[in-house]
Amino acid sequence: MHEGQPGHALGAESGSDKVDAEPAGQTESNTQTSESTPENSDLRDPGLPGHSQIEDHDPLGLNSLLDSDTVAQLRQLALLNFGEMNAIKVSAGFDSPLDHGEFSDAFLEAVRAVYVSPTGGTDFDDVYRSWKQPGSILILAEAPGRGRTTTARALLAKLRHEQPEVRVGQLSFGGSPDFPGHRLPHQANRAYVMELPPDEDDFRVAETFGATLNGLSTQLAHRKARLVVLTTPEQWRRVGTGAPTGIRPQLGVASPLEIARRWLWAESPNFPVDMWLEDPDIATLLDDQPPVDVLEIVGYILDAHRAKNSKRPDLDALAQKHSRHTDTPFDRQVLSVLAARGNWRSQLLFWHQHPHRTSFQRNFLVSCSALRGAPVAHVYASAAELATRLGELEVHLNGQTEPGVIEMIHSIDAELAEDDTVTFDRPEWDDAALEYFWVDRPLSRTKFLEWLADAPLKTNREALDSLSSQEQQVMARRIGSFAVQWAVRQRRQNPLRQLAVRWRGEALWSTFIEILTAASLNAVSASYVHEMLRQWARTGTAAQRLATVEVCAGEFGRQHTVKALLRLRHAAGSSDPDVRRALQNAVHTLWLDPTARSTLFSYVVDWCADASTREAGQEAFRALAASAEGDASALPVLLTRDGDSGFTPSTADLTTGWRAVLGGGRGLESNDADAAAVRLWLNAVRHYPGLLNEVLTILSTAVQVEEQDEPATTVESPRDRLRAIVRTWARITDGGPPADGFELPADAPSRAAVYTALTQLLDDGLVANFQRNMSRADGASLPT
With pLDDT > 90 as the criterion, what percentage of the chain qualifies? 43
Of residues 633 and 293, more confidence is placed in: 293
Residue 629: its pLDDT value, please? 74
Residue 715: its pLDDT value, please? 55
Residue 323: its pLDDT value, please? 87
**Average of pLDDT values for 294-312?**
85
Confidence label for 156 from pLDDT (cuts 50, 70 and 90)? very high
Residue 17: its pLDDT value, please? 46
149, 174, 145, 162: which is closest to 109 by C-alpha? 162
pLDDT 10s digits, 499-524: 999 999 999 999 999 999 988 888 77
461, 485, 376, 387: which is closest to 423 by C-alpha? 376
Q: What are φ and ψ of residue 102, in 5° steps?
A: -70, 140
Residue 721 confidence (pLDDT) above 50: yes
pLDDT 10s digits, 43-59: 333 333 333 333 333 33
pLDDT 10s digits, 484-500: 988 888 888 999 999 99
Residue 332 confidence (pLDDT) above 60: yes
Confidence label for 186 from pLDDT (cuts 50, 70 and 90)? confident
Residue 213 confidence (pLDDT) above 80: yes
pLDDT 10s digits, 610-644: 888 888 888 889 989 988 876 657 889 899 875 55
pLDDT 10s digits, 117-137: 988 889 999 999 999 999 999
Q: Return the H-helix or E-strand segment holding 480.
A: helix 469-490
- Buried b / exposed e along 613-626 (16+ C-beta atoms within 10 A): bbbbbbbbbbbbbb
Confidence label for 746 from pLDDT (cuts 50, 70 and 90)? confident
Residue 2: its pLDDT value, please? 39
Confidence label for 147 from pLDDT (cuts 50, 70 and 90)? confident
In terms of average pLDDT, the best of 235-239, 461-465, 554-558 is: 235-239
Q: What are φ and ψ of residue 667, in 5° steps?
A: -95, -150
**Average of pLDDT values for 592-603?**
84
Residue 88 confidence (pLDDT) above 50: no
- Out of 352-356, 391-395, 430-434, 666-670, pick the least confident: 666-670
Alpha helices in 203-267 (DSSP H): 213-222, 233-239, 256-267
Three state DSSP letters for 36-69: EEECCCCCCCCCCCCCCCCCCCCHHHHHHHCCHH
Question: How many CB atoms within 10 Å of residue 89?
Answer: 18
Residue 31 confidence (pLDDT) above 80: no
Assess contact for 228 and 193: CB atoms under 8 A. Answer: yes
pLDDT 10s digits, 545-555: 999 999 999 88
Residue 133: its pLDDT value, please? 95
Residue 104: its pLDDT value, please? 83
Assess contact for 264 and 302: CB atoms under 8 A. Answer: yes
Residue 459: its pLDDT value, please? 67
Residue 326 confidence (pLDDT) above 90: no
pLDDT 10s digits, 398-427: 778 889 999 999 999 999 999 889 999 888
Residue type, 761: L
**Average of pLDDT values for 576-604?**
87
Residue 617: its pLDDT value, please? 87
Q: Could you tell me how far CA 621 lies from the centroid of its own chain?
A: 25
Residue 232: its pLDDT value, please? 93
Residue 745: its pLDDT value, please? 87
Assess contact for 253 and 29: CB atoms under 8 A. Answer: no
Q: What's the chain's average pLDDT?
A: 81
Residue 155: its pLDDT value, please? 96
**Helix 526-539, helix 509-521: angle, nearest 10:** 130
96, 102, 219, 115: which is closest to 166 by C-alpha? 102
Of residues 426 and 664, more confidence is placed in: 426
pLDDT 10s digits, 106-119: 888 888 889 999 88
pLDDT 10s digits, 679-702: 999 999 999 999 999 999 999 999
Confidence label for 782 from pLDDT (cuts 50, 70 and 90)? low
Of residues 417 and 83, more confidence is placed in: 417
With pLDDT > 70 as the criterion, what percentage of the chain qualifies? 81
